[in-house]
Structure 1
Amino acid sequence: MGWNLQLKLKKNARGVMPYAGMVMVECMDVGLTTLSKAAMSRGMSHYVFVFYSNALATLVLLPFSFLLFPRSNRPPLTFSLICRFFFLGLAGITLMQNCVFTGINLSSPTLGSAMSNLVPAFTFILAVISRVEKVDWRSSGSQLRILGSLVSIAGAFVVILYKGPSIGTPPSSPPLHFSTSSNSNSNSLAASNWVLGGLFLAVASISISIWHTLQAATLKKYPIEMIVVSFNSFFGTIQCLVVALILERDPIAWTLKPDLELLSIFYSAVIGSVVTPCVLTWCIHEKGPVFVAMFKPLSIAIAALMGALFLGDTLHLGSVVGAIIIVIGFHGVIWGQSKEERRIKEDDDDDGGVETSAVSIEKAPLLRNHREV
């Protein structure tokens, strides 16, 4: 009896762990954006922040990956692979992270979490344009993905272009809309920063979608993920250094203070670039990518709560309405992808395992988290 009870408890614990792991991942992800926003609000340069955090991650990842995979256990590196690693670093780190932290600095972590749900839609659109993904217009799964992508983009426009009245606090000034002129210079500047921040976050979503597509093609040629991630981080660090040297001319900005700035860099390097990808990989292995993707909208609520508690942010009606629309579109894309995968599997079974021309989630990873680097 005791042995059976112990086995049952272990089985239940293992079943609960993926759920706890995904909640932890979303909390850590939002915690990174909230902590970085707090550090940047104290005057820390986001260009310097991105460089230092990636440099620290590279110092951890690169030696460890080569120790874990010696030359005898890995394929040789070619010039074409090095070029792919360079562009992976450019899209997945340099462009994406600089745009993310610039956008969050101008707006809020809540907007950043809402806009991150655009990644599956943008990835699907890019895969169709580049003919990596073939669309069967008669398939309900393809129709759902197209409709979900359009709905997500419409929700992003709502979040960016309409801020709306604050929620939970009495309005001290007229509601802030992008389409109407403000009576005060501060409100006008806030509106401009909000829109500009949203545009930076949209560019970040597009760049991580490009990274997803390129990463899938690279892993076919070099299937050792740890090495790919390490070189991704290495080239991204060099590129971020060049960007920071060009755009950040103040020498004082490069001096780190042993306070929130150093803590945010350490958190970004260790938690954001090492711990989070490991937990995500384990959850995908246990439950699959659709399970992981379903937790992404949770980050909006976590970001709103953390922003209100630690940053004093105010939640606005436009963010809530736009986030709801984006999440509806997000689930439309995920639902359509699931239906398409089931259809492909059924066709494979009917054809005796013959490959179809459609691309699976592994080939076009629409569902991976945008913070994975």
Structure 2
Amino acid sequence: MGHMEFYKPIIVMIVMQFTYGAVSITTRASLLEGMNPRVFVFYRQAFATLVMAPVAYFSSRSKTTRCSIGWKSFWLIFLASLIGITISQMVFLEGLYLASSSVGSAIFNLVPAITFVAASIIGYEHVNIRSLRTIAKIFGTVVCVTSAAAIALIKGPKLLNTHLPSSNSLLLNSSEFDNIWLLGCLCLFASSCCWSFWLIIQVPVTKSFPDHLSLSAWMCFMATVQSGAFLLITDPHLDAWKITSYFQFGSVLYAAIVGSGISIILQSWIIQKCGPVFSAMFNPLNTVVVTIFASIFLKEQIYVGRQVNLINIKLNFIIWEHML
């Protein structure tokens, strides 16, 4: 039983990486079909709120002790929603479209490095330069950064696939593909930073408001309001808010229920149990899943230079396992 408790967080995180991979692939497919990235974020959070709110409400009613949301909890949740959901997803979808889903998951390998550095500065992560665990984490950080830089800057000969169609991207104002590629990588890097900060913010958030179901519902609701306000500014015409196909609707619904609702609950539970760095260290697995399936189903461009990331995958699982 004790062994099962030890492996339960690991199993959950592995399953979540496959889930995130499916979300990335279906999301980019919707963007390539012409869906507005900001509309996608808004509907994703709105649907997630509609699903999570009733579940959280009836779950809290069955408990003898309920969590009350005070002003401190409210502003912590608002900040976490703004950084880790609204901004992170808006920027991520821009980068996902401009680069690719496989590159998006690869650059997200920076999350353990960014999280480790930030958590060390804040004091959530103890750094002992004489410890093998600390040395492994530092070396893993260097590997993550080097790999992400290689993916962004070193492409090499093209092995596979496609062409970039038009879309509703706010940043697509150049016909020069190399510039678009680099811009997409920068967006994905910014999204990685936001996600890392979200993982760290979860520590005070879960302490202030430990009800994971209600916390997930509140985050989805606040992200809906935030993304809706941004969408009104950038796309004031309601015609731009339309979902034009069943596939787009299905991908939004899947991202909402599984990618936002369920994943936020599980991420909050994992962070409370094992810490933010543990949660971040499983991201390299997502790259393997997305790269394989995106090249098959989306015909994404695969470059020789990007395969440097495979070294990062193998090294990260060896290096970061010292953290367990």
CA distance in 1, matches of 2:273, 2:76: 30
Percentage identity across aligned positions? Answer: 30
Kept in 1, the 8 Å contact 2:212–2:265? The answer is no
> 1:58 — aligned with what?
49
Kept in 1, the 8 Å contact 2:42–2:227? The answer is yes
Whether 1:337 and 2:315 are equivalent positions in the alignment is no
State the Cα deviation string for residues 111-134 of structure 1 (Å, max 9, x = none).
111122221111110112223333
Change in 2 beyond 3 A, CA 1:293/1:207: closer
> 2:155 — aligned with what?
163
Structure 2 residue aligned with 1:110, among 102, 125, 130?
102
CA distance in 1, matches of 2:34, 2:179: 20
State the Cα deviation string for residues 206-246 of structure 1 (Å, max 9, x = none).
11111111111121222211122211111111111112122
Q: Which runs of 5+ in 1 are unaligned?
A: 1-15, 170-184, 339-373
**TM-score, scaled to structure 2:** 0.83
Whether 1:263 and 2:259 are equivalent positions in the alignment is no
Q: Which runs of 5+ in 2 are unaligned?
A: 1-6, 162-173
Structure 1 residue aligned with 2:205, among 218, 231, 253?
218
Change in 2 beyond 3 A, CA 1:252/1:86: same
Equivalences for 1:67-106 in 2 at 5 Å? 67-70=58-61, 73-106=65-98
CA distance in 2, matches of 1:20, 1:215: 21
Change in 2 beyond 3 A, CA 1:318/1:45: same
Equivalences for 1:132-151 in 2 at 5 Å? 132-151=124-143
**TM-score, scaled to structure 1:** 0.73
1:168 CA displacement? 5.9
CA distance in 2, matches of 1:84, 1:291: 22
CA distance in 2, matches of 1:211, 1:287: 15
Structure 2 residue aligned with 1:49, among 28, 40, 45?
40
Aligned with 2:155: secondary structure? strand
Change in 2 beyond 3 A, CA 1:266/1:289: same
In terms of Rg, which structure is larger? 1
CA distance in 2, matches of 1:214, 1:286: 15
Change in 2 beyond 3 A, CA 1:44/1:316: same
Kept in 2, the 8 Å contact 1:148–1:331? The answer is no
> 2:31 — aligned with what?
40
Query: What is the identity, as a one-letter code, of the residue corresponding to 1:38?
Result: A
Task: Say what the alpha-carbon RMSD is for the aligned residues.
Answer: 3.3
> 2:116 — aligned with what?
124
CA distance in 2, matches of 1:283, 1:77: 22
> 2:167 — aligned with what?
none
Structure 2 residue aligned with 1:154, among 128, 146, 155?
146
Change in 2 beyond 3 A, CA 1:154/1:115: same
1:273 CA displacement? 2.1
Query: What is the identity, as a one-letter code, of the residue corresponding to 1:137?
Result: I
> 2:169 — aligned with what?
none
Kept in 2, the 8 Å contact 1:128–1:134? The answer is yes
CA distance in 2, matches of 1:281, 1:83: 17
Please say which of residues 306-315 and 157-166 is displaced more in the overlay.
306-315
CA distance in 2, matches of 1:118, 1:21: 21
Equivalent residue pairs, number: 308
Change in 2 beyond 3 A, CA 1:110/1:311: same
> 1:315 — aligned with what?
302
